[in-house]
């Protein structure tokens, strides 16, 4: 079941990637549903996904600074 939540989270983040508010909202929801291991995986995936998207990288770093993605 964990893999399903992880995959759903990735799909939700991809869909929300053009809207900061929705993107942040999806990450906050994910941080409540994912295990520590899954949070680490999604964080690594986010760095890969945002490698060519500097604006989104800023959003990810803001959330990391606020400890939203840390278990």
Tokens 């929705």 belong to 22
* pTM score: 0.83
* Tens-place pLDDT, residues 36-63: 899 899 999 999 999 999 989 998 888 8
Strands annotated E in the chain:
none
Q: Which residue did the predictor score with more confidence, 59 or 2?
A: 59
Q: Is 13 exposed, middle or buried (0-12, 13-18, 19+ CB in 10 A)?
A: buried
Task: Work out the percent of the chain whose per-residue pLDDT is above 70.
Answer: 93
Cα–Cα distance list, 2 to 7, 9, 11, 13, 18 (Å): 9, 11, 14, 17, 26
pLDDT computed for residue 41 by the predictor: 92
H/E stretch holding 35: none
């Amino acid at each position: 079941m964990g893999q399903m939540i992880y995959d759903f989270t990735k799909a939700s983040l991809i869909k929300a990637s053009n809207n900061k508010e929705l993107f942040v909202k999806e990450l906050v929801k994910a941080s409540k549903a994912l295990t520590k291991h899954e949070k680490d995986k999604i964080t690594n995936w986010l760095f890969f996904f945002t490698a060519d998207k500097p604006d989104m990288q800023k959003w990810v770093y803001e959330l990391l600074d606020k400890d939203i993605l840390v278990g």
